[in-house]
A and B are shown apart, each in its own frame.
Chain A
């Protein structure tokens, strides 16, 4: 059985997207840098992953032209590209301020659950009601 040594992969306002790179490059660079994945393959993987969460159309856009949801999705996929990723989502309602509950984020996480080992969400205690039964 393979032993996992999870690598922390944050999704946070403090870890922004690289604004002078296309969305797909923000995602693909993790695999390209750490696993030396060829550019075309990494690009395909990034675009396919964006498609899984319904954001394929933003692959060649840049950070400033994204909505809050799209930006969150890209940050999440970037984190998921880390090998044996332990995704750490820090204050998700700061990333998507108008979000009423955690539903959208959990469904995104479920859609890409094969890409990461574990996911932890950190937020203030007083935000608890937004998380419902989670």
Chain B
């Protein structure tokens, strides 16, 4: 019995230590993002490259997925609203659920699968290959050169891609509103605009920024935890990705609580 409590206590201490380490690390990176000296020419080049890899390269696939998945989602939701006789809530459902909740969530899932895993592996490989040591040797701060551009890219990319996803959803909404409700574009636009609250949009963008911050920071943190053994790469990546998904769920729950109160 004692062993059980000991194990439980150790696990709890480890989780608390891990979480506090991550928060301290997040604080360090967050502060650097607001320091002018971080934005050297080298950092800006890495930032532009990162935005290209995360936001631009993914665009064709992202738009196809948005159109396909968005249309499916809108079609299902509109059909349900019609069947339940809740047509008057179409605007609230569209803005309150689909645009402000589902589009950031789906965007963050897509970007996590594609970019967060890549960042996690990249950091672990750099650690194993002693490339981080190279940067230190040449007096290049890894927070400025590697971490800040990636985290900033996460924030920018999630905000932009989530907005794009929302726009695609709203456009496909025009088509489905016509098909399902026989609603013309003017009526649809009025309903959407009347259901739009500025605070919801701000909260959505803020949530996207928080998502972007953590889905890049956590993979970086776990990537940097790799040892100098090749075998530590898959361990670092799997732990990092599990923690990223845990962070996504926590952020989603917290944002719902903020909305409720």
Contacts and interface: CB of A to CB of B under 8 A. Distances in A.
Interface of A: 9-10, 14-20, 25, 28-30, 32-34, 36-39, 42, 78, 82
Residue from A28, A32, A38 having most chain B Cβ neighbours under 10 A:
A32
B252 interface: no
Contacts of A20: 122, 125-126
B137 interface: yes
B120 to A, nearest CB: 13
Contact of B134 (A18, A25, A28, A36): A18
Nearest to B132: A18
A14 B133 contact: yes
Interface of B: 40-45, 122, 125-126, 129-131, 133-135, 137-140, 144-145
B129 A19 contact: yes
A14 B131 CA distance: 9
B133 A36 contact: no
B134 A17 contact: yes
Residue from B41, B43, B126, B134 having most chain A Cβ neighbours under 10 A:
B41
Please list the 9 inter-chain residue pairs (A to B) with the smallest Cβ-Cβ separation, ordered nearest first: A32-B42, A33-B42, A32-B41, A29-B42, A15-B134, A39-B45, A36-B41, A18-B131, A15-B137
A15 B133 contact: yes
Contacts of B138: 9, 15, 30, 78, 82
